[in-house]
Amino acid sequence: MSFPPPSEFNANRVNAGDSVCEALSKVFRQVNLLADLVASERNEDGSFTTEFIEKICATGCAGGGGDTNTSTPDPSASTSIYMASRFLSGGVFRGRLFFIESGGWTYTTINGSMDQVVLGMAIRPSDGVAYAVYVDQTNDSSPYPLRLGTVNLTTGAITYIATISSGGSDWSTLGADDQYALEFKSNGTLYLATWTTSPISNLYTVNLATAAITAVGVDVQMDSGANSFLVYSMSYDSGGTLYALGFDCTTNRYITASVNTTPNPSFGNALLATEECEILQAASVPTVNNQIWMGLVNKGGEKFIWARGTGDIYQVADGSGCVTPFVQKMTGAASMAQVTAVAGVPS
């Protein structure tokens, strides 16, 4: 239920010149508005509604707002989004973590100076636990291991689970590079996507206890031909379809596409991507850490992507198709530059 705006209450003020009928009509409307307001804020048992908690916590949970450290609401809530970025400090990359409330497009800084750089992040729908793949250039040495862990969404603290790669393999580079994406399927399966400048993308399932990965198909290709689709970010929609923001290597275009996670024998057991929206035409395949777009979430039946270099957020699709031109929903702060991961349970 939406919150009645102040203008609706003001319209029902009783004026000196009002007739008795007009005055009574305004009083009745005001009583109904008050009932709507209370219903928006509280459940029958007296507890606050999820929508009310989200709006309060997006402003700083009764103390702050904007670029401040604060607690965050339910990670599984319909408007909750989390975003990670990186910054260079003392010759190594460090990370930042943000909460974004997509109802009003406000943000808070959960942690502005993390040792770890989150390169992929996903929220498990069943319990709201956040998982991440990350590197720690502050405490590790090159080649930097790619690790799996859980993220405390109030503090940004990461709890290590296991190491996915010790670094330096053909798909795990040595730095805090933007080459990974995580997403949970509704049944609890965690997918990890990677890409290389070969160019090729691969999809894996991840064991949540051991971080062992298992390949799903041989690579990811466009269904329009045997050409690679590089997966930059993944997000399920509320209907259970997996979408990705990425790059069509034959047409040199940034696109959003649905991805079929069942290997297709006609394409050599590749996973097939079907284009949804064209984002941008490019001259060539972007090199590592030079992607223009990074990050995709599905919220309220709409799709949103991030400008990697600035943290600006744009709506690119709704339930009926692509939004053209794209609608900017939020301007990123300076600390949001160099987006590395976004996550949010689809709604």
Q: What are the tens digits of pLDDT across the range 65-96?
A: 344 444 567 899 999 999 999 999 999 999 99
CATH topology of domain 57-343: Neuraminidase (2.120.10)
Distance CA 17, CA 252 (A): 68
Specify the pTM.
Answer: 0.79
Tens digit of each residue's pLDDT (9 = 90 or more) over 120-167: 999 999 999 999 999 999 999 888 999 999 999 999 999 999 999 887
Tens digit of each residue's pLDDT (9 = 90 or more) over 202-227: 999 999 999 999 999 999 999 988 78
Q: Determine the 3-state secondary structure of 24 from DSSP.
A: helix
How do the domains of the chain map onto residue ranges?
6-41, 57-343
Interhelix angle 50-58/20-41, rounded to 10 degrees, is: 80
Distance CA 236, CA 297 (A): 8
Output Rg (C-alpha) for the chain, integer angstroms.
22
* Residues facing 40 on adjacent strands: none
User: Rounded to the nearest 10 degrees, how much is the dihedral formed by the CA atoms of 52, 184, 143, 293?
Assistant: -70
